[in-house]
Structure 1
């Protein structure tokens, strides 16, 4: 692998299953689950669960762009959840479970917007794609017990 590392942020419901999906991708160097897109500094899991902080459960993905592209990561993102449900994934309901891509720069934003438009035009979904595309602001890592939660328990995926 090269020494280059880029970062991407994805919110697709409960971060445990989303993190597990990204950890399987060749070229992903590291993942960290956490919170982004809210109004409270240093929120705890309990704070985020109230919905009052406006944060989403997010996976920070550090990747080698010589091995895996941002576009490839977007493909994993779209396949990891239902991007047509507003503030919900399966039984998990609230703004913390929204579908979102938090972009670090204008290039990521343009790629994410094009990818979202392509998802909508392919006719794969019965409803419109409601994924939020926003600037990546402050990212707050979740508590240690959330990191690689499924992997620590010998689970490969999060079943709803």
Structure 2
């Protein structure tokens, strides 16, 4: 029996059952993980980062609404088009975001430790879905958080215990 039943992700939690790995990720899960990793840490730097994350989304929405109201649809089209191109490129590379993956469909799990200040640790789960090879990216908490490195090791161990 495996000892690790779940581990935190950037936007929520990954949970294991006998046959599946479930990903419980949402916008509210993202806010909760930011609160856990930054605000509860208690330092000025981490509290400031939490506040900055919280204000980034409303400021972005405000910017889009202002651009639309003033008739600057070119900005909205460029940003929306860029997002669509990036999403399409990811999709073409085989990346999907299922909420659960059966263990018997997983071919490989690779881990990237990330570089502090540049990238975050992540897992790439390669699996088959209806005969097609797909990938699922699992972003883990930042290395700037107190538990960043420990969660990375815990996530690797969880999949190693299950034979990946």
Given the two structures, how large is their TM-score scaled by the length of structure 2? 0.29
Given the two structures, how large is their TM-score scaled by the length of structure 1? 0.29
Structure with bigger helix share is 2
The structure with more radius of gyration: 2
Q: Which has the higher contact order (CA 8 A, sep 6+)?
A: 1
